[in-house]
Amino acid sequence: MRNLIRLCGDQARMVHDDPWLLLGEGTNEPTAPLILPLAEWQAQQAPEVLAGERSSPHGVLLQPDDDPETLRPWLNVLPLIAIGFPSFSDGRGYSQAYLLRARLGWRGELRAVGDVLRDQLAHMRQCGFDAFAVRQDKSVKDALKGLAGMSVLYGRSVIEPRPLFRRRG
């Protein structure tokens, strides 16, 4: 996947050699590992994977209508979860990310894909995303500037579970 930013601890890096592709995205790289939409992912897994006994070779893509709860039985076999933003103004992905991290305890990579833009990256980061596939026509270098956001968060979030009133000096 091109235009990818990944967080490693507090460090954000541009990733140039990410192997993952969304289904239907790059047909000229037949060996690349794929991220599949939920129904597709379920259909393509071996019974051992679905039983939670073997790792899946495929990442899964949640679209806004999907319930993250569905993934509960497979959290330990999934290599990666992507959340789709068909439009940056559709905010369902933020709550999905919150639920995956805070409620389901997902610790693997959580990647924002789709209409992923500089001015929303900080909010995505707060909600637990740690990888951002910036929209293809945008400069990833420019987008990096949006990641830090503001120094003050009043409420709480996935990366700062204590609201400001519990942190205020």
Partner 1 sequence: MYHYDEYDRALVRERVAQFRDQIRRRICGELSEEEFLPLRLQNGLYMQKHAYMLRVAIPYGTLSATQMRTLARIARQYDRGYGHFTTRQNIQYNWIELEQVPDILEMLAEVDMHAIQTSGNCVRNITTEAFAGVAADELLDPRPLAEILRQWSTVNPEFLFLPRKFKIALCSAEQDRAAIMMHDIGLYLYRDEQGEMLLRVMVGGGLGRTPILGQQIREALPWKHLLSYVEAILRVYNRWGRRDNKYKARIKILVKALGIDAFAEEVEREWQHIKEGPAELTEAEYQRVAGSFEPPRYQELADVDLAFGSRLAQEPDFARWVERNVMPHKVPGYASVTLSTKPGVSAPPGDVTAVQMEALADWSERFGFGELRIAHEQNVVLPDVRKQDLHALWSEACSFGLGSRNIGLLTDIIACPGGDYCILANAKSIPIAQSIQQRFLDLDYLHDLGDISLNISGCMNACGHHHIGNIGILGVDKNGSEWYQITLGGAQGKASALGKVIGPSFAAEEVPAVIERIVQTFVDYRAADERFVDTFHRIGLEPFKERVYPVEELAP
**Site residues, partner 1 (CB under 8 A):** 64, 88-92, 94-96, 98, 103, 117, 119-120, 122-124, 126-127, 142, 150-157, 161-166, 168
Sign of the dihedral defined by the CA atoms of residues 116, 119, 125, 131, in that order: positive
Residue 31 or 89 having the CB closest to partner 1:
89
Residue 48 or 119 having the CB closest to partner 1:
119
Q: Count of alpha carbons within 13 Å of 150, Cβ hemisphere only?
A: 5
Which of 94, 81, 86, 95 has the alpha carbon at shortest distance from 122? Answer: 94
What's the min distance (Å) between Cβ of 101 and partner 1?
11
Phi, psi of 121 (to 5 degrees): -60, -40
User: How many whole angstroms separate alpha carbon 31 and alpha carbon 2?
Assistant: 16
User: How many whole angstroms separate alpha carbon 120 and alpha carbon 27?
Assistant: 30
Phi, psi of 20 (to 5 degrees): -70, 145
Residue 75 or 122 having the CB closest to partner 1:
122
What's the min distance (Å) between Cβ of 28 and partner 1?
30
What's the min distance (Å) between Cβ of 61 and partner 1?
17
| DSSP H or E run through 94 | helix 92-98
What's the min distance (Å) between Cβ of 20 and partner 1?
25
| 25 SS3 class | coil
Q: Which residue has the tokens 């900080």?
A: 122
Residue 5 or 124 having the CB closest to partner 1:
124
Residue 37 or 68 having the CB closest to partner 1:
68
What's the min distance (Å) between Cβ of 55 and partner 1?
28
